[in-house]
């Protein structure tokens, strides 16, 4: 990968288990074994997740470090629910990049209208060229809950099923356009060529359901994958952090306090 933003470096502070066959698809588990390192690593990437490249350096040069802290406080969410939702998307995007080898481009959170408003569209998108040279597009749905049960898995499945199980046209166009100004512009060009040419079909798409939580929802994950009847390949990743809410709070507070 050439564009590396908001990296989480999972394998430094987590045990990353290989996905195993489940219901004809795949399910995997990531478990934190060092929350403190995770908090520090995630916090270091948060500014780039919410701000355009070079913005913070420019503000620091012209207005000083205190202005950088104030700018970030206006960009980062402050409510627990907004932070939790964002963290799920951030971790899912990092997983696509680090563990699945996808191009993910600049964060979509940079262009959010308000720091507390939920984003519309697909939670995360990734793309890569397969060994056959064909473009693969990954549509991800992320859920973040301290305790996660059947209803949340059902919500995630509903999100993946929207738009005929394909990425929304608006999300995909925005994703491609973000890539055009990066070193991965060739991938952006390929996404646009597919979307505006023959169109995206189910055989071009993979799904990622990403569940960030503290408990073990494996029975609900298994039931969901066994009952899935669509034609898109499925991967569900459960990312477990025992102190789920504390982890999120400490990561954001570390940035807000200027300690990232």
In this structure, what token pair is assigned to residue 91? 């971790």
In this structure, what token pair is assigned to residue 2? 């050439």
Matching residue, tokens 């430094």: 12
Q: Of all helices (H) and strands (E), which one includes residue 57?
A: helix 55-63
Cβ pair 145, 156 in contact under 8 A = no
For residue range 146-194, list pLDDT tens digits in order: 999 999 999 999 999 999 999 999 999 999 999 998 999 999 999 999 9
Pairing of strands 233-240, 25-32: parallel
pLDDT of the chain, 260 residues: tens digit per residue: 334 444 789 999 999 999 999 999 999 999 999 999 999 999 999 998 988 767 777 887 778 777 777 888 788 898 999 999 999 999 999 999 999 999 999 888 887 655 544 556 799 999 999 999 999 999 999 999 999 999 999 999 999 999 999 999 999 999 999 999 899 999 999 999 999 999 999 999 999 999 999 999 999 999 999 999 999 999 999 999 999 999 999 999 998 776 44
Question: What is the share, in percent, of the chain residues with pLDDT greater than 70?
Answer: 92
The set of residues, in sequence order, having a beta carbon less than 8 Å from that of 151 and lying 6+ positions away, is: none
How many angstroms from the chain centroid is the CA of residue 241?
16
In this structure, what token pair is assigned to residue 260? 């990232």
CA dist 237 and 239 (Å) reads 6
Does the pTM exceed 0.85?
yes
């Amino acid at each position: 990968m050439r564009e590396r933003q908001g990296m989480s470096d999972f394998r430094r502070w987590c045990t990353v288990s290989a996905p195993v066959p489940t219901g004809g698809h795949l399910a995997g588990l990531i478990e934190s074994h060092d929350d403190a390192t995770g908090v520090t690593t995630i916090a270091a990437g948060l500014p780039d997740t919410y701000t355009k490249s070079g913005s913070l350096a420019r503000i620091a040069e012209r207005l000083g470090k205190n202005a950088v802290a104030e700018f970030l406080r206006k960009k980062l969410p402050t409510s627990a629910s907004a932070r939790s939702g964002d963290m799920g998307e951030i971790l899912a995007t990092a997983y696509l990049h680090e563990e699945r080898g996808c191009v993910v481009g600049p964060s979509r959170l940079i262009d959010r209208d308000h720091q507390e408003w939920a984003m519309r569209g697909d939670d995360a998108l990734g793309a890569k060229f397969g060994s056959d040279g064909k473009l693969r597009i990954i549509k991800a749905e992320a859920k973040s809950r301290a305790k996660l049960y059947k209803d949340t898995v059902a919500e995630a499945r509903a999100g993946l099923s929207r738009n005929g199980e394909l990425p929304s046209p608006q999300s995909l166009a925005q994703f491609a356009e973000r890539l055009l100004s990066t070193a991965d512009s060739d991938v952006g060009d390929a996404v646009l060529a597919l979307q505006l040419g023959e169109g995206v079909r189910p055989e071009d798409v993979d799904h990622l359901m990403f569940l960030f939580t503290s408990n073990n929802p494996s029975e609900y994950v298994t039931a969901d994958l066994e009952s899935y009847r669509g034609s898109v390949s499925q991967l569900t990743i459960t990312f477990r952090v025992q102190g789920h809410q504390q982890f999120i709070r400490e990561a954001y507070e570390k940035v807000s306090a200027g300690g990232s």
